[in-house]
Amino acid sequence: MKEITGFSKFNKQQKIDWLTQTFFNDSEKAQKILKQYWNEDQKLQKLHDEFTENTLSNFYLPFGIAPNFLINGNFHTLPMTIEESSVIAAASNAAKFWSKRGGFSAKVKNTTKIGHVHFFFYGNPEALATFFEETKPAIIETLKPITENMEKRGGGLLSLALIDKTNALENYYQIEAKFETLDAMGANFINTCLEEIAAKLYQEAKNSFGYTDEQPLLKISMSILSNYVPECIAYAEVNYPADQLLDDKESSLKFAQDFVKAVQIAKVEPYRAVTHNKGIMNGIDAVVLATGNDFRAVEAGVHAYASRNGSYSSLTQARIENNQFIFSIEIPLALGTVGGLTSLHPLVKLALEMLGNPTAKQLMQIVAVAGLAQNFAAVKSLITTGIQEGHMKMHLMNILNQFEATESEKNTIVKLFESRPVSHSSVVEALENLRNEQKVL
């Protein structure tokens, strides 16, 4: 294959022609697959096309719901966009379990977001510190046109600080800026502010220290928000008598004790913690994606937070205290309910309306609960029946669809595996036997 030039100037059909003729033996079949996922509503398809670059088709994920989430005394039905078969079922089961035991309580501890101007300074550190304190009011003033509207709503720039990082990297400093962005995730707002701060910092330093652009004493490296938000925290928990969790006192206490031990393992063993937290993110990512938020940013920040004490560890905590079983999660979440896809994608708007058009703080609480519920369901399975029984039952339909089973075949196989363990090989064998029997008949 040769390098393609001028690709960005191709129209949509030309891009499809190039792709399918270059990479596929059956160009016509490949084009058909791409086009079968186009939306018949041309206006809606144009909207999807403009979400990103070089759009050729739409990649659909299932949009499902998990009902019966009792959060702070109110029932919610959570929108979840995910392809993994057992996630929504597990979340729904956990929601139903806790709805009969007082539900989930949730709160937001803080909503501060952070960004940095990263720069190198080759002069006297004390002179830089003095310069920054003298220049800070002018920097804040230059941001007024950008922050004015946010400030009217109660947000804006919270603080500016000079951070000396020369112990980590020679001549390296930061301007750390903290923000409140209210119901917006705020990435564009924060980055715009940071670039303005950098420009003002450079100009004022040039005037103050008398250097030239050719030989700068202060050199800006980059200006960017951080997706690590350890001061933007949501907390959720469930709390119930340990001896009343299940049908009888003895089994309830054993379940609670086994559950706590399982979470403790994830607190101290990174190999387990990664999988433990992945299960939490099954629930979190599904709601984050359904509500038009950036799940990649959330993932990055969450996993950094899980490592904040020097070793990767569980995001959830469990304990028994005075016979109370307490299971909780504390998690960094930078979410928005205005801006971005929230006002553009029809399903995102539907998802937010389904949740009662929450504020960013309310959505943070809901998402934290989704993660806690998902983790409860996973750990509960692990310490009782094992994870595979429920997971493979849900995966059964994927296997049957892979082998293009008919509705009649699906009904027969599903009934057959009601009382036996599911594995890929056993399902394939059962399907082949069924088809051989039908041939004989």
* Buried residues in 205-220 as b, exposed as e (16+ CB within 10 A): beebbebeeeebbbeb
Domain locations in the chain as residue ranges: 7-49, 63-108+232-384, 113-225, 391-440
Q: Fold for domain 63-108+232-384?
A: 3.90.770
> What is the Cα–Cα distance from 278 to 298, expressed in whole angstroms?
12
Provide the whole-model pTM: 0.88
Task: Enter the DSSP assignment of 338.
Answer: B
pLDDT at 389 (0 to 100): 59
What single-letter amino acid sits at 292? G
Flag whether pLDDT at 176 surpasses 80. yes
pLDDT at 339 (0 to 100): 85
Residues 205-224 pLDDT 10s: 999 998 888 889 999 999 99
Flag whether pLDDT at 27 surpasses 90. yes
**Comparing 63-108+232-384 with 113-225, is the CATH topology the same?**
no
> What is the Cα–Cα distance from 382 to 256, expressed in whole angstroms?
13
Residues 277-318 pLDDT 10s: 999 999 999 999 999 999 999 999 999 999 999 999 999 999
* Buried residues in 36-45 as b, exposed as e (16+ CB within 10 A): eebeeeeeeb
Cβ atoms of residues 85 and 397 within 8 Å: yes
* Beta-strand runs (E) in 122-153: none
Q: Which residues are catalytic?
A: 84, 278, 294, 391
**Which CATH number applies to 113-225?**
3.30.70.420
pLDDT tier for residue 428 given thresholds of 50, 70 and 90: confident
pLDDT at 343 (0 to 100): 82
pLDDT at 392 (0 to 100): 63
Handedness of CA 309, 315, 319, 321 (dihedral sign): positive
Ordered strands of the 172-180 beta sheet:
156-164, 172-180, 113-121, 218-225
